[in-house]
């Protein structure tokens, strides 16, 4: 099950939630969680691949695609936020847990609770 982690962009002040763990919403709703998170490029890419696979395999392959993508999407989304300049902004323990689950090491560039 996915876990939320608060993230903010220090340059713009924008605050969003990143996620880590399994994405049930991606499994159930396909590409639409990306659209709801304003991740438009990912939505378009996944949706196009999903439609092409649906036509080529008469609807069988998209289920397996979403099954695999639901394991990967939350990590993909959250690391994408980090690349855009967002940093972890929750408590230090929550930040450490999220970074560990995402395979990252906390530092002053990606976490507000680490001293520079």
The 10s digit of each residue's pLDDT in 8-55 is: 999 999 999 999 999 999 999 999 999 999 999 999 999 999 999 999
pLDDT band at residue 107, thresholds of 50, 70 and 90? Answer: confident
What is the percentage of the chain residues whose pLDDT exceeds 90?
81
In a domain, 113, yes or no: no
Residue 51 is assigned to a structural domain of this protein? yes
16 within a domain of the structure (yes/no): yes
How confident is the model at residue 116, as a pLDDT? 66
CB-based contact 7:16 (threshold 8 Å): yes
Say if 115 falls within a structural domain.
Answer: no
Within-domain flag for 62? yes
Q: CA dist 111 to 89, 91, 105, Å?
A: 6, 10, 10
77 within some domain: yes
The secondary element (H helix, E strand) that includes residue 19 is strand 15-20
> Structure pTM?
0.89
Let me know if residue 26 belongs to a domain.
yes
What average pLDDT does the structure give for the chain?
92
Q: Which two tokens stand for residue 30?
A: 């396909």
Q: With respect to residue 40, please indicate whether it lies within any of the assigned structural domains.
A: yes
Comparing C-alpha atoms, which of 114, 100, 104, 115 is closest to residue 82?
A: 104
Structural domains in the chain (count): 1
Expressed as residue numbers, the domain containing 17 is: 3-102
Q: What is the pLDDT of residue 114?
A: 75
């Amino acid at each position: 099950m996915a876990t939320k982690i608060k993230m903010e962009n220090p340059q713009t002040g924008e605050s969003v939630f990143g996620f880590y763990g399994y994405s049930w919403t991606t499994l159930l709703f396909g590409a639409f969680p990306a659209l709801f998170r304003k991740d438009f490029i990912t939505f378009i890419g996944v949706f196009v691949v999903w439609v092409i696979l649906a036509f080529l395999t008469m609807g069988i392959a998209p289920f397996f695609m979403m099954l695999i993508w639901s394991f990967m999407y939350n990590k993909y989304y959250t690391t994408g936020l980090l690349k855009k300049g967002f940093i972890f902004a929750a408590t230090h323990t929550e930040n450490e847990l999220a970074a560990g689950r995402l395979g990252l090491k906390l530092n002053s560039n990606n976490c507000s609770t680490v001293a520079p």
